[in-house]
Amino acid sequence: MPVKLTYSLLLLLTIGLVTSTALVRHQYSLAHSAPSIDSPAEASVQESPGRGPVRMIRFVVSDNGIYPRRIQVDKGLLNIALEDKTNTADHLLIESVVGDQRTKVTQIDRGLNQVRGRLLIRLGPGRYRVSVANQPDHTADLNVNP
């Protein structure tokens, strides 16, 4: 009986730690996202409590560019991950594309001595350009459907 009780307590403790860590990371990501853009024609970044489905997108930076080069998702909450296989990309820029104009929406930083970074963000419908800040020829297209 004591062994079952110990395992149950360990399981509850683990669930509590994982949940609290996830909440802290979520709140940190929302607090460090870019301010929203008020114009309906441009992209909007909105802080949200995270309700609704979350779409996971992973961009991998390699010597040949960013993969995937094109991705299409529905509007809503996006969990965008950066994986830098070159260890040279400090961050990814996300810019709204309207005609020939590009406007910076936010950036995804990777941690110090880390190969990965992550950002939870709500993007409105539109076209976005994802690029490596220090390698502007490495780009990808992100289309957000209405």
CATH 2.60.40.420 for domain 32-145:
yes
pLDDT of 9 = 67
- Condensed to tens digits (0 to 9), the pLDDT of residues 81-95 reads 999 998 888 789 999
108 within 8 A of 14, measured Cβ to Cβ: no
The domain segmentation of the chain, as residue ranges, is 32-145
- Condensed to tens digits (0 to 9), the pLDDT of residues 39-66 reads 333 333 444 455 678 899 999 999 999 9
Strands 65-67 and 54-62: antiparallel
